[in-house]
A and B are shown apart, each in its own frame.
Chain A
Amino acid sequence: MEWEHIAESQEFKHLISIKTKFTIIALIFSFVYYFALPLSVGYLPGVMNKKVTGAINIAYWFALSQFFVAWIIAGIYARVANRHFDPIAEKIRRENAEGVEV
């Protein structure tokens, strides 16, 4: 099995480059959005305590939005992985299936 050969192939390099790009962007966005919550309720209480709908304040909507943002990022990941990562990985698997030890 020529692992180096696969590592040097255009297909594998392309897979890694699109995966890395997606991973970095998605994780940075998730972390910034998540840690913005404790930091803003800690340091910007005036803004966060502002009531927007009845007694519900910005702090509550911000915390609730975290769930939906996490779901949306997960959904985007699934879409990108299904459409762009899987076909390339599948091709590499097919082309190199012989001689790989499980």
Chain B
Amino acid sequence: MNWLAIGMFVVFVGITLGITYWASHHTKTTAEYYAAGRSISGVQNGFAIAGDYMSAASFLGIAGLIALNGYDGFMYSVGWLVAYIVVLILVAEPMRNSGKYTMADVLAYRLRPKPVRTAAALSTLVISTFYMLAQMVGAGTLIKMLLGIPYEASVIFIGIMMILYVTLGGMLGTTWVQIIKAGLLMFAATVLSLWVLAKFNFNLVTFFNGLSAKYGQKFLEPGLLYKNPIELVSLGMALVLGTAGMPHILMRFYTVPTAKAARTSVLWAMGLIGTFYIMTTFLGFGAAYFVGSATIKSIDKGGNMAAPLLAQMLGGGPNTFGGEFLLAFVSAAAFATILAVVAGLTLAASSAFAHDFYVNVLRGGKADEMTQVRVAKRTGVIVGIIAIILGILAKGQNVAYLVALAFAVASSANIPVIILALFWKRFNTTGAVAGILVGLIASVGLMMIGPSVMGKAAIFPLSNPGIVSIPIGFIAAFLGTVLVPQRSESNIKYEELYIRANTGLGAE
């Protein structure tokens, strides 16, 4: 057991539980529970978006990809920032202007509420489950490596923590957990990458010459990891469009008071996320140079320990106080990272079920505030328990592809419908339901018959189905609209949504 790391982690847990206790006094109404009473500032929300988005997979996973595969790992990290251009220009402000708590609010404005809310809740639950499962399994494995705590114990602990953050602290508590985590992660990454660069007198050329001398120029050239450019384009499409359809990210825009604050928050998030991914390069390449890829691989084949091992090496090496201290700090930051991401996902999943499905579909929108908050909290507990059970059942499984799958579903099922609802006058309920369901089935189906699941026997050649499933989602939404016209839906509702989305008129 790494007691130093566990000690630091206990401090983090203590502080966040204190915040959760404070936040619980401000979490009485639905607007407070789902949207922190719209009281979060643009800058705070920018940090929280970054905290919600930078998962352990990006901190540890991408650093490892770079340490083992050089250039290709770096290229992979680019799409995670470019995705925010779509968020900034297409969805953040219209969503804030016309919705309340979920993506379905915007759809339900102009379309028949019950079918579109049901479909949107389904895709949100699928995306959250896949993404959360990937986080839980990754977390259990990492914590075992970092802290020496058994897999099942860490999964149960993470599950309990996320239930506490979400059900007691609501969106306000979750937001602050994410803000603190983003600060912690940025601090750790900055210290380590400056340290690495300082070893080369802050000269990037010297750094790369050193890498080239050690591993050969091939290491700095494309092609070690990705052989098929179409695969990369497909992955890029799912990342770039999928981020704008991720329910836990969309939900964050309802926590700020105005569309202008939503814009500010994306700008801050982009600054943080971009800086973070550039620094990840220095961590990955630094780990390759100072720790060595053979050592990294011997501890974890996926390279997930690259950043923590780099920290240990920079601090003075194993069994020195400096080395162990830095290792502990980075491990604690990674643990905090996991907690902040799963809390955001739990909140998104519970809002989809409680707000969209229970209140607005089953109860026809007729439920008082107290009932709504109670149902939302209970859903949060159930989501947490399901995540714990699935996490334990999936022990030892390779679930990395679930992250890609979550982005594929978000880009194929949610994005076509969000974009068409906001920008296409003729769009109707059948089109929306068809777009969500067909996009969902296409992305999951193609993944299931692809190499990630079937290995060499795959029927579909790509591990990332986006390049096919995203157009299918759009086509289904289009055909559903054109083939099944609905006269009862007037265009006036569209005009109202269009004006609200673009001007903020009447926004809550």
Instruction: Report A-chain residues with C-beta under 8 Å of the C-beta of B205.
Output: 53-56
Instruction: Report B86 CB to chain A, min CB distance, Å.
Output: 7
Taking a contact as CB atoms under 8 Å apart, the answer to whether A74 and B495 are in contact is no
C-beta contact mask, A68-87 vs B, less than 8 Å → 1, else 0? 00110111011001000010
C-beta contact mask, A17-60 vs B, less than 8 Å → 1, else 0? 00100110011001100110111011101001101011111011
Give Cα A12–Cα B277 distance, bound, in whole angstroms.
Answer: 39
Contact-size category for A? 35 or more
Instruction: Report B-chain residues with C-beta under 8 Å of the C-beta of A26.
Output: 85, 89
Tell me which of B75, B232, B495, B507 contacts A7 (CB under 8 A): B495
Instruction: Report A48 CB to chain B, min CB distance, Å.
Output: 6
Taking a contact as CB atoms under 8 Å apart, the answer to whether A38 and B278 are in contact is no
**Is B204 close to A, CB under 8 A?**
yes
Instruction: Report B500 CB to chain A, min CB distance, Å.
Output: 9
Instruction: Report A-chain residues with C-beta under 8 Å of the C-beta of B217.
Output: 49, 51, 55
C-beta contact mask, B272-295 vs A, less than 8 Å → 1, else 0? 001001100000000000000000
Taking a contact as CB atoms under 8 Å apart, the answer to whether B82 and A34 are in contact is yes
**Is B366 close to A, CB under 8 A?**
no
Tell me which of B90, B206, B263, B274 contacts A81 (CB under 8 A): B263
Give Cα A53–Cα B203 distance, bound, in whole angstroms.
Answer: 11
**Is B88 close to A, CB under 8 A?**
yes
Quick one: given A74-B267, A102-B508, are A86 and B222 in contact (CB under 8 Å)?
Answer: no
Taking a contact as CB atoms under 8 Å apart, the answer to whether B260 and A86 are in contact is yes
Instruction: Report A56 CB to chain B, min CB distance, Å.
Output: 5
Taking a contact as CB atoms under 8 Å apart, the answer to whether B503 and A27 are in contact is no
**Is B266 close to A, CB under 8 A?**
yes
Instruction: Report B-chain residues with C-beta under 8 Å of the C-beta of A56.
Output: 204-205, 208, 220
Tell me which of A6, A30, A57, A81 contacts B220 (CB under 8 A): A57
Chief secondary structure at chain B's binding surface: helix
Give Cα A14–Cα B427 distance, bound, in whole angstroms.
Answer: 23
Taking a contact as CB atoms under 8 Å apart, the answer to whether A77 and B270 are in contact is no
Give Cα A7–Cα B229 distance, bound, in whole angstroms.
Answer: 44
Taking a contact as CB atoms under 8 Å apart, the answer to whether B492 and A38 are in contact is no
C-beta contact mask, A89-101 vs B, less than 8 Å → 1, else 0? 1001100110011
Q: From A20, which residue of chain B is reached at the shortest CB distance?
A: B423
Instruction: Report B170 CB to chain A, min CB distance, Å.
Output: 21
Give Cα A1–Cα B206 distance, bound, in whole angstroms.
Answer: 66
**Is B212 close to A, CB under 8 A?**
yes
Quick one: given A37-B75, A60-B220, A102-B508, are A12 and B499 in contact (CB under 8 Å)?
Answer: yes
Tell me which of A49, A70, A78, A101 contacts B263 (CB under 8 A): A78
Q: From A51, which residue of chain B is reached at the shortest CB distance?
A: B217
Name the residue in A55, A86, A100 with the highest tally of chain B Cβ atoms < 10 Å from its Cβ.
A55
Instruction: Report B202 CB to chain A, min CB distance, Å.
Output: 14
Taking a contact as CB atoms under 8 Å apart, the answer to whether A70 and B81 are in contact is yes
**Is B498 close to A, CB under 8 A?**
yes
**Is B455 close to A, CB under 8 A?**
no
Taking a contact as CB atoms under 8 Å apart, the answer to whether B84 and A70 are in contact is yes
Instruction: Report B-chain residues with C-beta under 8 Å of the C-beta of A30.
Output: 82, 85-86
Tell me which of A19, A35, A93 contacts B505 (CB under 8 A): A93
Instruction: Report B-chain residues with C-beta under 8 Å of the C-beta of A55.
Output: 205, 208-209, 211-212, 217, 220
**Is B10 close to A, CB under 8 A?**
no
Q: From A81, which residue of chain B is reached at the shortest CB distance?
A: B263
Quick one: given A4-B492, A41-B229, are A67 and B81 in contact (CB under 8 Å)?
Answer: yes
Tell me which of A23, A59, A74, A75 contacts B222 (CB under 8 A): A59
Give Cα A26–Cα B89 distance, bound, in whole angstroms.
Answer: 8
Taking a contact as CB atoms under 8 Å apart, the answer to whether B503 and A12 are in contact is yes
Taking a contact as CB atoms under 8 Å apart, the answer to whether B236 and A67 are in contact is no
Taking a contact as CB atoms under 8 Å apart, the answer to whether A66 and B82 are in contact is yes
B:52-105 near A, CB below 8 Å: 71, 74-75, 78-79, 81-82, 84-86, 88-90
C-beta contact mask, B400-430 vs A, less than 8 Å → 1, else 0? 0000000000000000000000000000000
Name the residue in A38, A86, A100 with the highest tally of chain B Cβ atoms < 10 Å from its Cβ.
A38
Give Cα A77–Cα B87 distance, bound, in whole angstroms.
Answer: 12
Instruction: Report A-chain residues with C-beta under 8 Å of the C-beta of B503.
Output: 12, 15, 89, 92-93
**Is B300 close to A, CB under 8 A?**
no
Q: From B81, which residue of chain A is reached at the shortest CB distance?
A: A70
Taking a contact as CB atoms under 8 Å apart, the answer to whether B240 and A34 are in contact is yes
Quick one: given A7-B499, A60-B220, are A27 and B90 in contact (CB under 8 Å)?
Answer: yes
13 additional A-B pairs beyond A59-B222, A63-B74, beta carbons within 8 Å, are A6-B495, A15-B503, A23-B90, A27-B89, A34-B236, A35-B236, A38-B229, A41-B229, A55-B209, A66-B82, A70-B82, A77-B88, A78-B263
Name 13 A/B residue pairs within 8 A (Cβ), A-sorted: A6-B505, A7-B499, A27-B89, A35-B236, A42-B228, A48-B222, A55-B217, A56-B220, A59-B221, A67-B278, A70-B82, A93-B503, A93-B504
